[in-house]
Chains A and B, each alone.
Chain A
Amino acid sequence: GAGVSQSPRYKVAKRGQDVALRCDPISGHVSLFWYQQALGQGPEFLTYFQNEAQLDKSGLPSDRFFAERPEGSVSTLKIQRTQQEDSAVYLCASSPRQGAGEKLFFGSGTQLSVL
């Protein structure tokens, strides 16, 4: 596709429900990042993949958060037993090279609301 695609665009979950957020990066991009953006805040790093390898997951807030990129393209961010504090916009970004020093291409995000 022309850009980074994220789905769903909006997700409403009841507290305790599991959710899965999908990211389709630009074809051929090596690096993939997930960020969490709370209302009125800047994006905060969650995790980083280089191809299928998850090289850094230090930003995941708890063990309820899990991300995968099994074939080095599409990535899924899964949140188990959602809590109200998980409400945020989840942004995916990809880059043609290793790391974030090059230009990152961002998707429009998935807005998660936990009731």
Chain B
Amino acid sequence: AQSVTQLGSHVSVSEGALVLLRCNYSSSVPPYLFWYVQYPNQGLQLLLKYTSAATLVKGINGFEAEFKKSETSFHLTKPSAHMSDAAEYFCAVISNFGNEKLTFGTGTRLTIIP
């Protein structure tokens, strides 16, 4: 069964600083990996997804993530944090394309310090 682990339930960074949110996956077959963001009182939105085409994936709002098979990781980064990035971020996995069950991590709440 596939799963993801998000290290750090809360992360705080200063405005303009690097954002790094960690996600490690466990899957017996090549995974498809996703990052979703949840703003207060809004539904989850897809930031980016990895489907084996390229290991470095660029998403919306300046975010990107790199798939590292050797480390079983899919960390989310953004070079310069903006106040509007404050939200809850979820890593998610599907073990094979077309599977219906998207399995989410427990989430990381990102706080931006002015």
Contacts and interface: CB of A to CB of B under 8 A. Distances in A.
Interface of A: 3-4, 31, 33, 35, 40-45, 48, 55-56, 59, 91, 93, 98-101, 103-109
Given A41-B106, A41-B107, A45-B102, A101 B97 contact: yes
Task: Describe B's contact surface by its main secondary structure.
Answer: loop
B42 interface: yes
Interface string B85-106: 0000010101001111111111
A55 B51 CA distance: 23
Contact of B43 (A45, A101, A107): A107
Interface residues of B, number: 25
Give 10 nearest A-B pairs by CB, closest first.
A42-B104, A106-B43, A100-B102, A106-B44, A48-B100, A99-B98, A101-B97, A103-B46, A45-B101, A108-B43
B78 interface: no
Task: Describe A's contact surface by its main secondary structure.
Answer: loop
